Amino acid sequence: MRFDTVIKNGTVVTASDTFASDVGITDGRIAAIADSLPTENAGKVIDATGLLVMPGGVDVHTHLDMPFQGTTSSDDFETGTIAAAYGGTTTLIDFAVQTKGSPLRKAFDTWMGKADRKAAIDYAFHCVITELGDKQFEEMGGLIRDGVSSFKLFMAYPGLLMVDDATIFRAMQQTAKFGGMICMHAENGGVIDVIVQRALAEGKRAPKYHALTRPTTAEGEATGRAIALAEMAGASVYIVHLSCNDALEKVREARDRGLPAYAETCPQYLFLSIEKMEAPGFESAKYVFTPPLREKWNQEKLWQGLTRDTLQVVSTDHCPFCYKEQKEMGKDDFTKIPNGGPGIEHRLSLIYTGGVHGGWFSPNRFVQLVSTAPAKLFGLYPRKGTIAVGSDADIVIFDPNEEQTISAATHHMRIDYSMFEGIRIKGVPKTVLSRGRVIVENGKFVGRAGSGEFIKRQALTHVAR
């Protein structure tokens, strides 16, 4: 038996099992998992003694090279995917955004062009629907068949991205017909806009008013409405970037009733809270993203939600805008600060630190949340999201005990600040493989921009959830 690569002496951790084993890789796939594999003829041998061998991370919520609110997110598909690789993420799903009135296919083609010859890890796309005429409605089935098996809709950002309930309902019906998934940005954008206009009229223009004008009730209401619309349409719904207990409760109730309702949260809602908005001067603009940071007590509810499977996924909602020049666009008016924060690099380390070392869940649940569940929910499994014979050899070799401090001075994202500056992490990726190729070795990127491939995702009807 000859392998291209053998990972020796590691502890394999999947969503279900933990066991000491070697892993053999041939032609980019996992070819053998066994007690002791021969290494004499192997092209490469990686010693994983004392380390965890886990499936590469799957981040299903990123915004690379995205035009938004008068600027463009600062990481493109090269810098963003390299930063992701450093953090142990080997597949991401980004958002191809429809320009109002244009074909959905055009959005897909545009984002394929952005990723082509740039991405260093594998990638796929959700399609954001901003207007659903008859033509776009007819396009949806074809996109799902071509591997874009999920659509994102916005209940917020009126005039920009927000769609009405009828549009949501039609999109859900059509998605259900072809076996796709609806991703929902659930906040009541109409109500928030009224609150925002009143704040501006009262001269409240500092960044903290971004958070203070977006109540948790607006997220809870929209989450409940999204689930009700999905129930009427017979569709599956996935609530993105869930930030607070009001919304969590709606998902819990739906799941208790057996509805196919799913939700993700993001590290920023687990580690940061609204106190950050009290930072002096314009500093708090660094934390202007949507939904905003919440009162601290919500964090414990979110960790509980991850533990009890009310929340199935941790993604990043990576949408970086530099403090200088980009966030500064809103110096005199919080509504002009581009919404979004950087996070693609530290998801695995943060969730391992808070979730596993923090005593909330096992390493297996960790793998489930950052890799297996997102791969299953979005049609990538079993090619991605597990360590199994036949799966892509997307593997992160992880030191669960190494400690580091997160800082913009050392991170690899193309942005001039870190949301998590100074936070101590315990658990870091050492070596990362993408389809069998080592792309991070002892903490250094050794991959190649452009080696990532578009992954055509399966429709939900073919996916075991």
Whole-angstrom Cα distance, residue 262 to residue 182?
A: 10
Residue whose CB is less far from ligand URP, 199 or 240: 240
* Binding of residue 185 to Zn ion (CB under 5 A): yes
Q: Which residues pair with 428 in a beta bridge?
A: 399
Query: From Zn ion, ligand URP, none, which one binds at residue 289 (CB under 5 to 8 Å depending on kind)?
Result: ligand URP
Query: From Zn ion, ligand URP, none, which one binds at residue 318 (CB under 5 to 8 Å depending on kind)?
Result: none
Amino acid sitting at position 187: E
Total number of residues that touch ligand URP (CB under 6 A) = 9
Contacts to ligand URP from residues 236-265, by CB under 6 A: 241
Residue whose CB is less far from ligand URP, 251 or 337: 337
Tell me how far apart the 2 most distant CA atoms of the chain are, in Å: 74
Q: Are 443 and 428 in contact (CB under 8 A)?
A: yes
Residue keyed to tokens 């949260």: 265
Choose the stretch contacting Zn ion; rule: CB under 5 A; options: 67-75, 185-193, 242-250, 343-351.
Answer: 185-193
- 5 exposed, middle or buried (CB, 10 Å; 0-12, 13-18, 19+)? buried
Half-sphere exposure of 82 (CA within 13 A, CB side): 17
Query: From Zn ion, ligand URP, none, which one binds at residue 208 (CB under 5 to 8 Å depending on kind)?
Result: none
Whole-angstrom Cα distance, residue 162 to residue 166?
A: 12
Residue nearest to Zn ion (CB): 185
Q: Which letter does DSSP use for residue 202 in this model?
A: T
Whole-angstrom Cα distance, residue 8 to residue 15?
A: 20
Structure tokens at 66: 């995205």
CB of 9 vs Zn ion, minimal distance in Å:
39
Residue whose CB is less far from ligand URP, 213 or 434: 213
Whole-angstrom Cα distance, residue 294 to residue 243?
A: 7
Contacts to ligand URP from residues 290-309, by CB under 6 A: 290
Half-sphere exposure of 149 (CA within 13 A, CB side): 22
* Binding of residue 98 to ligand URP (CB under 6 A): no
Choose the stretch contacting Zn ion; rule: CB under 5 A; options: 173-181, 182-190, 266-274, 386-394.
Answer: 182-190
Q: Are 21 and 397 in contact (CB under 8 A)?
A: no
CB of 378 vs ligand URP, minimal distance in Å:
16
Whole-angstrom Cα distance, residue 381 to residue 375?
A: 5
**Would you state the torsion angle of the CA atoms of residues 280, 282, 286, 290, taken in this order, to the nearest 10 degrees?**
110
Contacts to ligand URP from residues 179-208, by CB under 6 A: 185
CB of 317 vs Zn ion, minimal distance in Å:
4
Query: From ligand URP, Zn ion, none, which one binds at residue 210 (CB under 5 to 8 Å depending on kind)?
Result: none
* Binding of residue 318 to ligand URP (CB under 6 A): no
* Binding of residue 63 to ligand URP (CB under 6 A): yes
Structure tokens at 393: 């050899």
Q: Are 147 and 456 in contact (CB under 8 A)?
A: yes
* Binding of residue 267 to ligand URP (CB under 6 A): no
Indicate which single residue of 22, 94, 187, 317 sits in contact with Zn ion (rule: CB under 5 A): 317
Q: Are 347 and 86 in contact (CB under 8 A)?
A: no
* Binding of residue 289 to ligand URP (CB under 6 A): yes
Whole-angstrom Cα distance, residue 397 to residue 53?
A: 5
CB of 95 vs ligand URP, minimal distance in Å:
8
- 418 exposed, middle or buried (CB, 10 Å; 0-12, 13-18, 19+)? buried
Structure tokens at 435: 């389809």
Total number of residues that touch Zn ion (CB under 5 A) = 2
Indicate which single residue of 319, 351, 406, 419 sits in contact with ligand URP (rule: CB under 6 A): 319
Query: From Zn ion, ligand URP, none, which one binds at residue 383 (CB under 5 to 8 Å depending on kind)?
Result: none
Query: From Zn ion, ligand URP, none, which one binds at residue 339 (CB under 5 to 8 Å depending on kind)?
Result: ligand URP
* Binding of residue 65 to Zn ion (CB under 5 A): no
Indicate which single residue of 149, 213, 339, 391 sits in contact with ligand URP (rule: CB under 6 A): 339
Query: From ligand URP, Zn ion, none, which one binds at residue 340 (CB under 5 to 8 Å depending on kind)?
Result: ligand URP
* Binding of residue 317 to ligand URP (CB under 6 A): yes
Whole-angstrom Cα distance, residue 346 to residue 376?
A: 22
Query: From Zn ion, ligand URP, none, which one binds at residue 303 (CB under 5 to 8 Å depending on kind)?
Result: none
Tell me: cis bond preceding 291? Omega within 30 of 0 counts: yes
Choose the stretch contacting Zn ion; rule: CB under 5 A; options: 42-50, 312-320, 344-352, 438-446.
Answer: 312-320
Residue whose CB is less far from ligand URP, 242 or 395: 242
Q: Which residues pair with 260 in a beta bridge?
A: none
Tell me: cis bond preceding 67? Omega within 30 of 0 counts: no
Half-sphere exposure of 54 (CA within 13 A, CB side): 33
* Binding of residue 136 to ligand URP (CB under 6 A): no
* Residues forming the site for ligand URP (CB under 6 A): 63, 185, 241, 289-290, 317, 319, 339-340
* Residues forming the site for Zn ion (CB under 5 A): 185, 317
